[in-house]
Amino acid sequence: MFDDLSDRLRNVLGRLSGRGRVTESDVDAAMREVRLALLEADVNFRVVKDFIARVRERALGAEVLGSLNAGQQVIKIVHEELTAILGAGDRNFHLSGSPAVVMLVGLQGSGKTTSAAKLARHITRQGRRPMLVAADPYRPAAADQLETLGRQIDVPVHRPAQGTSVPDIGRDALAAARQQARDVLIIDTAGRTSIDQPLMEEIRRLSAALEVSETLLVVDAMVGQESVAVAQAFAEAVPVSGLVLTKIDGDARGGAALSIGAVTGLPVKFLGTGERTDALEPFHPDRLAGRILGMGDMLTLIERAQDTFDQEQAEDVARKLQRNAFTLEDMLGQMQQLKRMGPIGQLMELIPGMGGAAKDAQEAVDRGDLRRVEAIIQSMTPIERRDPDVLTASRRRRIARGSGTSLQDVNRLIKQFNEMKKFMRQFGGAGGKRPALPFGLGR
């Protein structure tokens, strides 16, 4: 979503960082380009105006203009002010009560039902025992979808009898949660295609029937400035405590996602980064600001790896790398775990300095390049995977036929694997040329 904005900001600020001292005219020229980039990304114009004024005022301070690394200091100021825009309100996720009640509200199509399941999975990883509640009596497909998602993540779903009023759905779910010793109740409420009074009254009645810890408004980040109006309307009707921004992985301009907190005063608490039930991140404004400015986000990358990778397997691979015993079998296992961390383009954006290569890497995945690597390795015998030195010309031809690839593809993979092993042996030493990832993912 932020690719275009990120590219433009990196280019503008990169020109400043390449200098030592900067002048007032340098700052003004850079701010004009930053203003244009933010407005074209659909950031609210009042937010842009205030942001530019604060950055300019700080950047023109004597301690910045007179310094030898003024360009770097301006980038630091931009990062801090961007973080301030994104960091409105109390972003802590509060779970109080027995059980704690979390109510998800929003319009149809915003991703409310999927977000409920993602939130349940997130809470489960924290050692809690959630229950999902299908509180949309008008759309049976919503309850069916929630039950399907509940089975996938092994979380029970309370589905009321037909004709049950919405407040009674909440009361019945509360009793069921206590009976089953569930300590968090996540309520997926009904939505409409547009804001109307019956929808708001229904949410108010449900909220009044329960002691709600969090009322999270689920907003589609791809609908632009309309999402700000939706957030303001819901906040006026019910005590919304925070926002869940969905479809952050989409290709819309993304400016509304940057400005919604600053305009409404509501804190963004979670980001939906994909369709899978594990594609939900707690929102950290400094991390998102770092991603947008091309600084990466290693903390999020580490957290994803910790959630995804098997610790024993990772330690085993590390020992093999130290002994130079890393095999194609190990490489296949690491690739399969890496895929579970999310789209490769997203992952590369989290690595400082790799933002520019992220798009190429994702395009390579979309072309099926990783699938070809998997097919080649899976077409080998266990002996061939563990010792590629046994791969004679006839064996390589057999593998190419079995994997539906060419002999050149097989040869390229073996060459890149050997380069990777050589690089791993030298890792931590004096450096050297970084090896190409399989099928050009690192181009």
Beta strand spans in 112-175 (E)? 130-135, 157-158
Q: Which two tokens stand for residue 200?
A: 């708001």
The H or E element spanning position 37 is helix 24-40
Instruction: Please report the pLDDT score of residue 438 as a whole number.
Output: 46
Share of the chain above pLDDT 70, in %: 77
Q: Where does 3-86 sit in CATH, by number?
A: 1.20.120.140
44-75, pLDDT tens digit by residue? 888 889 989 998 888 887 666 666 577 777 88
Q: Which two tokens stand for residue 221?
A: 């980040």
Quote the pTM value: 0.68
More reliable by pLDDT, 343 or 378: 378
Q: What are the boundaries of each domain within the chain?
A: 3-86, 100-293, 301-440
351-399, pLDDT tens digit by residue? 555 555 555 555 555 556 778 888 999 999 989 988 888 999 999 999 9
More reliable by pLDDT, 290 or 33: 33
Instruction: Please report the pLDDT score of residue 330 as a whole number.
Output: 78
More reliable by pLDDT, 307 or 271: 271
Any idea which fold 100-293 has?
Rossmann fold (3.40.50)
301-440 and 100-293 share a CATH fold: no
On the question of pLDDT at 30 being above 50, the answer is yes
Instruction: Please report the pLDDT score of residue 360 as a whole number.
Output: 56
Residue 227 in contact with residue 220, Cβ under 8 Å? yes
195-230, pLDDT tens digit by residue? 778 888 888 888 888 888 999 999 887 777 778 888
Distance CA 182, CA 435 (A): 50
Instruction: Please report the pLDDT score of residue 309 as a whole number.
Output: 58
Res. 303 pLDDT band, cuts 50 70 90? low
Mean pLDDT over 119-137 rounds to 92
CATH tag for 301-440 (out of 3.10.580.10, 1.10.10.10, 3.90.78.10, 1.10.260.30): 1.10.260.30
On the question of pLDDT at 155 being above 50, the answer is yes
Mean confidence (pLDDT) of the chain: 79
DSSP SS3 for 152: helix
